[in-house]
Structure 1
Amino acid sequence: MFFAVGISVAVVFPFLSLFLSTAVHADPVQVTVFLIASPLTGVLVSSAVGRVSDRWPIRRRILVGAALFGVVGSLVAMFVRDYWVLFALCMTAYAFAGSLFPQSFAYARQILERDSPGQAAMGISALRTVFSLSWVGGPALAAVLLDVGGFRLVYGLAAATYALAALIAVVWLEEVEAPTPSKTAEPSADAAAGPSADAAAGPSADAAAGPEGPRWVLWLTIVAFVLMQVPMTLGVQALPLYIEQDLHSDASRAGLILGLCAALEIPLMLGLGALTTRFKLQTLILIGGACGTAYYAIAWVAPNLWVLAAGQVVNALFISAISGVGITYVQNLLPGQPGRATTLYTNTFPIGSVVAGPLFGVAAHFGYRSAFGMSTALMGAGFLLLVVTAMWVRPSRSATYPTR
C-alpha cells in the first residue's frame, strides 16, 4: 500500500511544472498560482479529513475513497489539457487524494498500537522507508515513460498505482475502530519539566493536547517542523545553481549529491526506527535537529563539492530522524487522534515548500550560497523550538499511547 502510494506521487510531482508549461501551455503566472494553490488546498482538505477520520470507524473507507479520487484525477489528466479544468481538479479530486498519505500512516499507527505497541515507532519508520524507496525508482521511471509516450503514460501509471492502493484497501485491509479519545490530565511528576500554570490548575482542553504535553507544545512543535521543512525544499531548489555558480562544478553533480543522501537515508531510517525501542523519541528528534543545523552550516561555508558530499552523512541522519521518527513523535502529542496528528505533521512539508519559494527568489538576488545561510538560521530556530518543547513532553521510550 505504501509503495503504491509513493509511486503514484513520485512519478507525477517532480514533473508537474514541466507538464503545466509544455503540455498545458500555461504561462509562468498560471504555473505559479497552480503550484501554490495545490499544496495549500491539500493542507485544508487533509486537515478536515484528519479530524473526521478520528471521530468514526471509517479510516479504511477514507483510504479507498482517497485512492479512487486519485484514479479519477489521474485519468482526467491523461487526456485533458485545459488549464482551468486541471486547476479545478487540483482543488477537488487531487486535494482529497492527498489525504491518502497521512491517513495511511494513521491507519498503520492504529494497527501497530493494537497488535504490537512496543514496536509502533519502528514500524512507522519502516513504512516511511518503503515510501522513500518508491522515490528511488519513481522519478527515473517517469522520465522513461515521458520519452516513450509522454505525459499520458505518466498519468496512466499514476492512475494504475492509485487503483492498486484502492484494491489493497478493499481486499486486504480491515476497518479499525475509531480511536478512543484520550482524557486530558495533568502532567505527571515524572515529566521532563514542571507543569505549566494551566496544567497545574487542572485538566483543560485549552491547556493540553493530551497526556503527552500542553496544547502549546503541540503547536510550537509543528512550527519547529515547518521551519525545518523549509530548508529541505530550499536546499534542493538551490543546490544545482549553488554547485555551478559558487562551487564552480557541473550542475549535474547535484544529482549525485542527492542520490548519495537518498542512499544513506534508507538504512539510517531503519536504524533509527530500531533505536526507538531503546531510546527516548525526544533524544532521537533532537539529535536529528542538531544534525540538520550542522549540515546546512557545512553547506553554507563549503569550499568545494567534496565537503558538500561529506556533509550528506549528517544530512541523511537529519532527514531520517525528522521524516521517520518525527511522525511518531507528533502522534504521541495527540494520543487518540492519529488522523489529525499525522495530518498536522505531513502538512508541514507543503507549507514549508510554499515558504521556500520567496526565499529562493531572495537567494537568486544575493547569491545561492545565501540560500544555505538562510537555511542554517531556519534550522537553528527550529532546533531551539524542539529543545524548548521537548522539555515539556513526558519522556517515553516506546511509541505506545500513554496509559489511560
Structure 2
Amino acid sequence: MLSGGAIEAVMTDPVFRSIFIILIIQGVAFGSQMPFMPLWATERLGVGPVEVGTISLVTSLATTAFGLGYGVVTDRTRRRVPWLVVAFGIAIPLRIAIAWTESFVVGTLLYAAISIAMFTLFFAILGDWLRHRNDERGAEISNIVRLGFTIGWLIGSFGAGRVVALYGFDGLFLTTAVLQVLSFAVLVLGVRDAPFVNIAPVAEVGGVVAKSVWRDLMQAPMAWYLLTTVCTGAASVARMTMLPLYLRNVVKVDTDSVGIVFGIEPVYEIPISLLAATIVRRYGVVPVLYIGIAAGVFYFGAIAFTSTFAPFLAIEILYAIVVTATFGFGIVHVQSLLPKRGGTAIAVYNAASTVGPVVAAPALGYVAENIGWSPVFVIASVLMAVACGTFMMSDRAGRRAGLLR
C-alpha cells in the first residue's frame, strides 16, 4: 500500500496541505460542472451536440493559451502563484454571470474564461517544492495530492444531479462560484512559490528561450509523449462532452443518474490509485501508463455497445484506471521528461491534452448528430489504441536517452 510517510508529508506541510485542500474544492466544482456542461448547453442554451463541441473547442483554446503563457513565463520569472491568483479571482464573478446566461455566444465565452483557472497548474508549484527538497517520494506525494481532486469529484458528481434537479443550472453555477471563493481564499493564505532549483537560467530571454524550449520539446521521448497526450485528450471528449448527452438521449436517464455514472468512477479511482502507487514504487511510472492507456481502448469500446444504465456502473472501473494513469501519474512522468522546466512541462502537458479536443470536440459532435452515437465511442477507442503506439515510441526513446521514468 501507499507509504504513510507520503500521506504525512502532505498533511503536515502547509503548502502541500493547502494545494490538497484546493484540489478537493476544485474537484467538487469541476465534478459538478463538467458532466453537466453538455446538459446545460442543450437544455438551457438550446443547442445540439455540434455546438456543445464548439464550447469545448473554445474552452480548449483558452486554457491552452493561458497554460502555455503560465508555463513559459513563470519558468523565467519564478513566480507562479500570482498567475493563479489572477485566474482564480477572475473566475469568481464569471461563474456568477454564467448562472443566468441564455446566449450561446456569451455562455461559450464565459465558460471558456472560467476554465483558465486550471487546477493542474498547481502541480507545477508542487513539483517545484519537491525538487527544492529533493524528495524521493515525489510520485507518491503527487498521487496523494491528486487524490484530493478525486475525492472532490466524487462529492461533486453525486451532488450535482440533485442540485440541478432542485435548483436548476443557475443553482449549480452559483454553487461553483462559492467553491471558487473558498479555493481563492486557501490559495492566497496557504500557497507560496518555492525557491527554484535546477531550472533554465533566468538570463535566457527572447528567442534564446524559445529555441531552448522548442529543442527540449522536440526530443523524441517528449515529442512522442505529447502525441500520446493529444490522442488521450481527444478521446476524453467522448466521455466528458458526449457521454452525458448519450446517457440522456440514448440510455434515457435523469440528471441524478448522470451524476451517479460520473460519481462512481472516483469511488473506484481511490483504491486503484493507492494500488498504482505501490506499482510505481517498485516498477516505475511507465507500466502504470501502459495499463491505463490500454484500459481506455476497452472502456470506450464497451460504451459503444452499451445502451442500458446498469453496465455503466461496472464499465467506469476501466475509466478509473485511465484517469489514475494518464492524469495522476502522467503529470509526474511529463515532469521527469523535462526536469529543468517544471512549469513548461505542466503547460505543454495541458496544451497537448487540449489540442486533441480542439479537433475532436466539434468532430465528434458532428458524428453524434449525423451518423450516430456508437461511432463516437469507437473513434475514441481507436484514438486510445493509437496512444498506446505513440507511448511505446516515447518509452523506447526514453530508455535510449537514459531518462528517469
State if a TM-score over 0.5 links the two structures: yes
What's the CA shift for 1:384? 0.7
- Which among 376, 380, 391 is matched to residue 396 of structure 2? 391
Give the TM-score taking structure 2 as reference length: 0.76
Aligned residue type for 2:216: A
Aligned residue type for 1:279: Y
- Which among 152, 166, 182 is matched to residue 164 of structure 1? 182
Aligned residue type for 2:335: Q
SS at match of 1:10: helix
Whether contact under 8 Å (1:238, 1:371) holds in the other structure is: no
Q: Which runs of 5+ in 1 are unaligned?
A: 184-203, 400-404
What's the CA shift for 1:138? 1.2
In structure 2, the CA distance between the partners of 1:314 and 1:82, relative to structure 1 (3 Å rule), is closer
- Which among 6, 19, 42 is matched to residue 63 of structure 2? 42
Q: Which residue of 2 aligns with 1:287?
A: 291
Q: Does 2:350 match 1:346?
A: yes
Task: Find the structure with the greater CA-based Rg.
Answer: 1
Q: Which residue of 1 aligns with 2:6?
A: none
Superimposed CA distance per residue, residues 187-245 of structure 1 (whole angstroms, 9 cap, x where no aligned partner)? xxxxxxxxxxxxxxxxx9489528xxx62431221111221233333256258749996
In structure 2, the CA distance between the partners of 1:215 and 1:309, relative to structure 1 (3 Å rule), is same
Moved more, 370-379 or 129-138: 370-379
Q: How far, CA to CA, are the matches of 2:278 and 2:339 in structure 1?
A: 22
Whether contact under 8 Å (2:38, 2:244) holds in the other structure is: no
Whether contact under 8 Å (2:331, 2:346) holds in the other structure is: yes
Aligned residue type for 2:145: L
Q: Which residue of 2 aligns with 1:94?
A: 114
What's the CA shift for 1:2? 1.0
Q: How far, CA to CA, are the matches of 1:148 and 1:239 in structure 2?
A: 19
Q: Which runs of 5+ in 2 are unaligned?
A: 1-21, 202-210
What's the CA shift for 1:69? 1.2
What's the CA shift for 1:337? 1.7
- Which among 128, 131, 137 is matched to residue 110 of structure 1? 128
- Which among 323, 326, 339 is matched to residue 327 of structure 2? 323
Q: Which residue of 2 aligns with 1:265?
A: 269
What's the CA shift for 1:256? 5.9
Q: Percentage identity across aligned positions?
A: 19
What's the CA shift for 1:259? 4.7
Q: Which residue of 2 aligns with 1:188?
A: none
RMSD: 3.7
In structure 2, the CA distance between the partners of 1:56 and 1:135, relative to structure 1 (3 Å rule), is same
In structure 2, the CA distance between the partners of 1:251 and 1:227, relative to structure 1 (3 Å rule), is same
Whether contact under 8 Å (1:64, 1:170) holds in the other structure is: yes
Q: How far, CA to CA, are the matches of 2:23 and 2:303 in structure 1?
A: 32
Q: How far, CA to CA, are the matches of 2:75 and 2:119 in structure 1?
A: 15
What's the CA shift for 1:104? 0.9
What's the CA shift for 1:303? 11
Whether contact under 8 Å (2:161, 2:259) holds in the other structure is: no
Give the TM-score taking structure 1 as reference length: 0.76
What's the CA shift for 1:12? 2.8
Q: Which residue of 1 aligns with 2:77?
A: 56
Moved more, 44-53 or 233-242: 233-242
1:5-404 equivalence runs, <5 A? 5-20=26-41, 23=44, 33-78=54-99, 85-90=106-111, 93-94=113-114, 98-115=116-133, 117-181=135-199, 205=212, 209=216, 215-235=219-239, 237-238=242-243, 241=246, 258-297=262-301, 312-354=316-358, 355-362=360-367, 365-394=370-399
SS at match of 2:282: coil
Q: How far, CA to CA, are the matches of 1:114 and 1:382 in structure 2?
A: 33
Q: Which residue of 2 aligns with 1:186?
A: none
Moved more, 130-139 or 320-329: 130-139
Whether contact under 8 Å (1:179, 1:337) holds in the other structure is: no
Moved more, 166-175 or 321-330: 166-175
Q: How far, CA to CA, are the matches of 2:244 and 2:101 in structure 1?
A: 34
Q: How far, CA to CA, are the matches of 1:244 and 1:26 in structure 2?
A: 14
What's the CA shift for 1:328? 0.6
Q: How far, CA to CA, are the matches of 2:41 and 2:315 in structure 1?
A: 34
Whether contact under 8 Å (1:240, 1:254) holds in the other structure is: no
Whether contact under 8 Å (1:243, 1:305) holds in the other structure is: no
Whether contact under 8 Å (1:286, 1:383) holds in the other structure is: yes
Q: How far, CA to CA, are the matches of 1:11 and 1:303 in structure 2?
A: 24
In structure 2, the CA distance between the partners of 1:77 and 1:99, relative to structure 1 (3 Å rule), is closer
Q: How far, CA to CA, are the matches of 2:246 and 2:53 in structure 1?
A: 20
Q: How far, CA to CA, are the matches of 1:238 and 1:89 in structure 2?
A: 22
SS at match of 1:324: helix
Superimposed CA distance per residue, residues 119-151 of structure 1 (whole angstroms, 9 cap, x where no aligned partner)? 111122222221122121213433333344444
SS at match of 2:98: helix
In structure 2, the CA distance between the partners of 1:385 and 1:165, relative to structure 1 (3 Å rule), is same
Q: How far, CA to CA, are the matches of 1:398 and 1:356 in structure 2?
A: 34
Whether contact under 8 Å (2:57, 2:361) holds in the other structure is: no
